[in-house]
Structure 1
Amino acid sequence: MIGRLTTPSKTPVSDDPRVIDGPRLILKTCLTRRESPIRPAKRGSRLNFDVLIVGGGIVGCAVARQLVTSNPGLHVGLVEKERSLACHTSGRNSGVIHSGFNQAPGTLKAKFCVDGNARLRAYCRSRGVKFEECGTLVLSRTEGERRVIRELERRGGLNGVPGLRIIDREELSRLEPNVVSAEALFSPTGSIVDSRGLVFSIAREAEERGAELIMGVKVVSLQVASPRVRVSTTAGDMECGLLINCAGLHADRIAKMIGLSRRYSIVPFKGQYYRLRDERKGLIRSMVYPPPDLEFPFLGVHLTKRVNGDIILGPNATLVGGREGYSIARYSVGDSLAMASFPGFIRASLNPRFARLVLGELHASASKKRFVERARELVPLIDEGDLVLDTAGIRAQLLNDRGELVDDFVLEWGHSSIHVLNSVSPGMTCAMPFAEYVVGQAIDRGYLNEG
């Protein structure tokens, strides 16, 4: 078990997220290749931590914050392979604070989402992170879709979502005059947030309480030398008493370095976004969703506000040949071969529903017209000329060896290591209670001393 060993020095952080405050701690926006390179962590140094977190997304930063908050003397480090935080899924998403009605009752996601929604909104207020409580609508235009939103209402009731209700066409037209639907599920607690700003704020708070953030350092290998873990990186060796893997798109690969994640593999689904031209921003006031296919963990192309006033459409869910395959140029032969050779992927490919999903999304992704058709099912006034290509994100979707898309949080436990293999949407919404859960489980299982 790990006790309090040392108290790390605290390096002050500039309020400007682009400022580098030292060779290790870097809180800044992602730099493009055209911008000046930054100083990496000091090469050849040997760093020793009580707990080392791999991954600088929302989950990794929330776990770091929770550790130094509940264990003030713990020496906590966080390594991120990019030169900034939130460069991937945590910074390339819809920015939605979910209400908690999509999640199946009894799952960890259902357990954490409602609490996480309330806590994130309170956190944003207290820390000055930009967010807006704009509400969520899920439309129902057919009898089949009516059954779906009734099921979502049932789930939301069991999960404790406050204020959730079905509204008729008249009330819907008052809320969203440009949306046409027979009825809709309305959740007033649905909100939007500056997701990158949120990650930076949580990371800054963790650093203020003693955590060390190390940017631009990639984990190369792990070696368990009980009771500690030796972590070989591109900046030299590190050691820790406990390693917590929150590496998102690469979490399964980190786990496989010490023989874990044998039943799982991450399959990348690209989500493309468009945004409405400035003169069309007034088309919606809230977040507008189609009814989801409850057999898959995707919510469909929807319209969402951003905190800067933009309206975005998306994402779709296109299977791609690269875990960071935001464009064709970034596809990876190695990623593609590894995915295709995983037994679970082979089994999934033989499932007709999965095959139809993949082929349908692939066809839609190749056609802006098809994307517009999906958007017009929600807001008929949208035209193809209203859409401007925006960012893309990659969903780190976990697939098990039975060929099933896993739709809940998944943790695996190794010698002196914890691995968060699945933390996809609503991972951001759930981040704070989920971080408490991870740390609490580590204490209960004897990986950490309480307090």
Structure 2
Amino acid sequence: MSVHKTAIVGGGIIGLAVAREIVRNAPDAEVTVFEKETAVGTHQTGHNSGVVHAGLYYEPGSLKAALCRRGVGLLEEFTHRHDIRYDKCGKLVVAQSTEEQVRLGGIHERAVANGVPGIRMISGEEIRDIEPNARGLAALHSPETAIVDYPAVARALATEIETPGGTVRLGRRVTRIQERSSEVLVHSDGSAESFDLVIACAGLQSDRLAVSSGEAAYPRIVPFYGDYFVLDAAKTDLVNGLIYPVPDPKYPFLGVHLTRTVDDTVVLGPNAFLSFGREAYRRGRISFPDTVSAIGFPGFWRFAASNIPAAIRETRTAFSTRSFVEQARAYVPAITTSDVHRGPRGVRAQAMNRDGSLEDDFAISGTARTVHVRNAPSPGATSALAIAEHIVREAFGRLDMPIQR
């Protein structure tokens, strides 16, 4: 089956990567990206700390592990080609207790199995050789974990789409995708346009677009905001790279950590708290439809009931700067509340199932001509170019089209 006209809904890093992958695999196809904002990469792509994850945590042999490791290589090559800063600043995952040391050993085993380069366990004394101001009983050092400018990556992807003749339409909100016997209609701002293949990568709005197009109601997106504090410029030398806590598998969110960004600032965070708007990046902004949707979803309350300790911790950080900074001080004691000021906020599109469980795997639904990417799990930005290969391979497979590359 041939595909002459293809539409991608969503101008975030994954949608753009998918469009670029189609341009590369089907050079004769007309590729159009619909993005409701006036620039690409303005939502999750543009509201994160810019970390390029190395693949420490994922189950060896899993799709997430494979896509992460391939994605890192593709992303590094892409940034070098486009002269985008890519800094292998390194990462420490720091254990503060013997229980965390045990879990850290398991992470080390997974990282080795996943082929993470240079990974090694170090002692508490060795931590200071890498991060002189950090403290802990032991740590896992990943020297090639990097940071990057993801919005710049998104802009470069848009260029690679448009240069051979593709189109990125900004300010075009898609409200519905309607499949007919021989075409798919994309309804956008009061008009409808016909395509042969449509792939929706709508991020924070992915479930709503899927449901309006006739797909199932679940998984549903529940938005969680993450606040960042910024370390004052005079104190940025307290942190050289990335300092992370040991993940607790009982809880879904990592907790506050410290990250140097590509503009040489240092941020603390993010925390994770229910957002009162799917796109509420400014504090105090509330979307009543989004809030009612979230708190009226029984799955959210089932999730909250099963994560009470984490909810208490995150509530403290949401309402107390001191509590927020104290989490960071566990790793870098020299930081004080007077050394930080409020920074940006991100919103995470957390896919949640009806029973309150979090969807931690890819959720792709639809038909041969309409594909809805309802969840592209973390590390989505890191793996974006590899995720695009996976999505396009699946979409073309449904149409019995060969992959040319």
Q: Are 1:324 and 1:331, in contact at CA under 8 Å, matched by a contact in 2?
A: no
Give distance in 2, aligned partners of 1:64 and 1:410: 19
Q: Are 2:368 and 2:399, in contact at CA under 8 Å, matched by a contact in 1?
A: no
Map of 1:65-76 to 2, 5 A cutoff?
A: 65-76=20-31
Determine which of 435, 439, 444 is the counterpart of 2:388: 435
Determine which of 365, 371, 379 is the counterpart of 2:318: 365
Change (3 A) 1:372 1:126: same
* Cα deviation 1:374-393 (Å, max 9, x = unaligned): 11011000011110111100
Q: Which amino acid aligns with 2:106?
A: E
Q: Are residue 150 (structure 1) and residue 105 (structure 2) matched?
A: yes
Residue 227 of structure 1 and its aligned partner are, at CA, apart by 2.3
Structure 2: 5+ residue runs without aligned partners?
Answer: none
Change (3 A) 1:297 1:430: farther
Q: Are residue 2 (structure 1) and residue 12 (structure 2) matched?
A: no
Residue 325 of structure 1 and its aligned partner are, at CA, apart by 2.0
Give distance in 2, aligned partners of 1:121 and 1:350: 41
1:93 aligned partner: 48
Q: Are 1:68 and 1:211, in contact at CA under 8 Å, matched by a contact in 2?
A: yes
Residue 449 of structure 1 and its aligned partner are, at CA, apart by 5.1
Residue 415 of structure 1 and its aligned partner are, at CA, apart by 5.2
Give distance in 1, aligned partners of 2:304 and 2:239: 38
1:244 aligned partner: 199
Map of 1:6-405 to 2, 5 A cutoff?
A: 50-234=5-189, 236-351=191-306, 354-405=307-358
Q: Secondary structure at the match of 2:23?
A: helix
Q: Are residue 407 (structure 1) and residue 360 (structure 2) matched?
A: yes
1:14 aligned partner: none
Residue 106 of structure 1 and its aligned partner are, at CA, apart by 4.0
* Cα deviation 1:134-182 (Å, max 9, x = unaligned): 1111001211110121111122122221211101123221111100112
Give distance in 1, aligned partners of 2:250 and 2:400: 36
Give distance in 1, aligned partners of 2:347 and 2:191: 29
Q: Which moved more, 1:311-320 or 1:400-409?
A: 400-409
Give distance in 1, aligned partners of 2:216 and 2:257: 33
Q: Are 2:230 and 2:343, in contact at CA under 8 Å, matched by a contact in 1?
A: yes
Q: Are 1:217 and 1:235, in contact at CA under 8 Å, matched by a contact in 2?
A: no
Q: Secondary structure at the match of 2:360?
A: coil
Q: Are 2:316 and 2:324, in contact at CA under 8 Å, matched by a contact in 1?
A: no
Q: Secondary structure at the match of 2:344?
A: strand
The CA RMSD over aligned residues, in Å, is 1.6
1:18 aligned partner: none
Q: Secondary structure at the match of 2:106?
A: helix
1:426 aligned partner: 379
* Cα deviation 1:284-310 (Å, max 9, x = unaligned): 111000111223443321111111111
Change (3 A) 1:142 1:325: same
Residue 205 of structure 1 and its aligned partner are, at CA, apart by 1.2
Q: Are 2:8 and 2:201, in contact at CA under 8 Å, matched by a contact in 1?
A: yes
The two structures have a TM-score, normalised by structure 1, of: 0.86
Q: Secondary structure at the match of 1:293?
A: coil
Change (3 A) 1:141 1:168: same
Change (3 A) 1:347 1:141: closer
Q: Which amino acid aligns with 2:101?
A: R
Q: Are 2:368 and 2:398, in contact at CA under 8 Å, matched by a contact in 1?
A: no
Give distance in 2, aligned partners of 1:443 and 1:377: 49
Q: Are 2:41 and 2:154, in contact at CA under 8 Å, matched by a contact in 1?
A: yes
* Sequence identity percentage: 38
Structure 1: 5+ residue runs without aligned partners?
Answer: 6-49
* Cα deviation 1:166-217 (Å, max 9, x = unaligned): 0112322111110011210011120000111111111111211222000011
* Cα deviation 1:422-442 (Å, max 9, x = unaligned): 124210111111100111111
Q: Are 2:92 and 2:244, in contact at CA under 8 Å, matched by a contact in 1?
A: yes
The two structures have a TM-score, normalised by structure 2, of: 0.96
Q: Are 2:352 and 2:359, in contact at CA under 8 Å, matched by a contact in 1?
A: yes
Residue 450 of structure 1 and its aligned partner are, at CA, apart by 4.1
* Cα deviation 1:205-262 (Å, max 9, x = unaligned): 1211222000011112222112211111116222211111101000111111122242
Residue 275 of structure 1 and its aligned partner are, at CA, apart by 1.0
Q: Are 2:21 and 2:389, in contact at CA under 8 Å, matched by a contact in 1?
A: yes
Give distance in 1, aligned partners of 2:229 and 2:25: 41
* Cα deviation 1:80-128 (Å, max 9, x = unaligned): 1111111111000010000101223343221211111122112211210
Q: Secondary structure at the match of 1:339?
A: helix
Q: Are 1:140 and 1:184, in contact at CA under 8 Å, matched by a contact in 2?
A: yes
Q: Which moved more, 1:253-262 or 1:305-314?
A: 253-262
Q: Which moved more, 1:368-377 or 1:416-425?
A: 416-425
Q: Are 2:14 and 2:381, in contact at CA under 8 Å, matched by a contact in 1?
A: yes
